[in-house]
């Protein structure tokens, strides 16, 4: 009944463009997923405060303390797109597929391309709200270094590009798995895997074996975690390794999308 009511509400919406009503509809779907609230908002805030307070008790130099706490806080902020986009969107998308919602929307004349774009906009809006909450509470609870405006802009551009690639990856995984359980399993493995390899769980990348370090440096989350403070203050930074990690991660996501499209076309014949 609930799905029928939802589909009834979207019948009257503009079906072939980016629209406020469709974005609102998708935003309600995002907000209805408890995983994004827990892992995308609550968990990073809790983790940042706990780890920062623990570190604060061991550092007496105020200048060094502010740098360390800010570095930790910005690095842990990378968890937000991992949770809201990778895990949140993939789980919502897989549940929709199980219920046949994408097929019914196409039968009602909704363009798949614009549906995906509306979903991306809704995901970005929720992620932006999550960051606003994260930084408000972080500034109230912790002594953080003030950014250079250009540095903050670059930092968030890097995060949102990462989030866009995660969206593509999540969409591909959900459409390949087509089941919530399988999709959730893979997204959780990737979520915690990138957190661990990125150094967000207390183990720095330089402590890993050489082979693991190579894999870790191929992930954008590793560079966003380790180099966030440099970006934040607008210091001179070599973007080469980060760009390479983005290209590698985008290529993996693209391959998954290609396999998804190939399987979909094959199933039609």
Tell me the average pLDDT of the chain: 87
Per the CB < 8 A criterion, the answer to whether 174 and 93 are in contact is: yes
Nearest to 41 by CA among 155, 148, 128, 99: 128
pLDDT tens readout for residues 213-269: 999 999 999 999 889 999 999 999 999 999 999 999 999 999 999 998 888 777 655
d(CA 257, CA 167): 11
User: Residue 205 gets which letter from DSSP?
Assistant: G
Best mean pLDDT range from 4-8, 154-158, 223-227 = 154-158
pLDDT tens readout for residues 192-204: 999 988 888 777 8
pLDDT at residue 19 greater than cutoff 80: no
Could you give the number of structural domains in the chain?
1
Give just the sign of the alpha carbon dihedral 114, 115, 116, 119.
Answer: positive
- Helix 149-177 vs helix 90-99: crossing angle, to nearest 10: 30
Global pTM?
A: 0.87
Identify the domain containing residue 30 by its residue range: 2-268
């Amino acid at each position: 009944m609930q799905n029928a009511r939802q589909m009834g509400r979207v019948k009257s919406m503009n079906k072939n463009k980016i629209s406020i009503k469709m974005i609102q509809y998708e935003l309600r779907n995002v907000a209805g997923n408890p995983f994004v609230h827990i892992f995308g908002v609550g968990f990073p805030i809790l983790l940042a405060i706990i780890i920062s307070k623990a570190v604060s008790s061991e550092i007496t130099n105020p200048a060094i303390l502010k740098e360390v706490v800010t570095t930790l806080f910005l690095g842990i902020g990378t968890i937000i797109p991992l949770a809201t986009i990778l895990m949140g969107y993939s789980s919502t998308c897989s549940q929709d597929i199980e219920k046949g919602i994408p097929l019914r929307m196409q039968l009602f004349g909704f363009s798949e391309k614009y549906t995906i774009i509306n979903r991306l906009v809704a995901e970005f809006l929720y992620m932006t709200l999550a960051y606003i909450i994260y930084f408000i509470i972080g500034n109230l609870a912790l002594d953080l270094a003030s950014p250079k405006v250009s540095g903050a802009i670059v930092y968030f551009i890097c995060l949102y590009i990462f989030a866009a690639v995660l969206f593509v990856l999540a969409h591909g995984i959900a459409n390949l798995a087509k089941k919530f359980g399988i999709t959730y399993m893979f997204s959780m493995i990737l979520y915690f895997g990138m957190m661990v390899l990125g150094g967000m769980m207390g183990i720095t990348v330089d402590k890993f074996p050489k082979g693991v370090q190579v894999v870790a440096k191929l992930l954008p989350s590793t560079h966003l975690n380790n180099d966030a403070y440099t970006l934040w203050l607008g210091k001179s930074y070599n973007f080469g390794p980060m760009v390479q990690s983005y290209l590698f991660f985008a290529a993996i996501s693209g391959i998954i999308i290609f396999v998804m499209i190939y399987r979909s076309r094959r199933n039609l014949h």
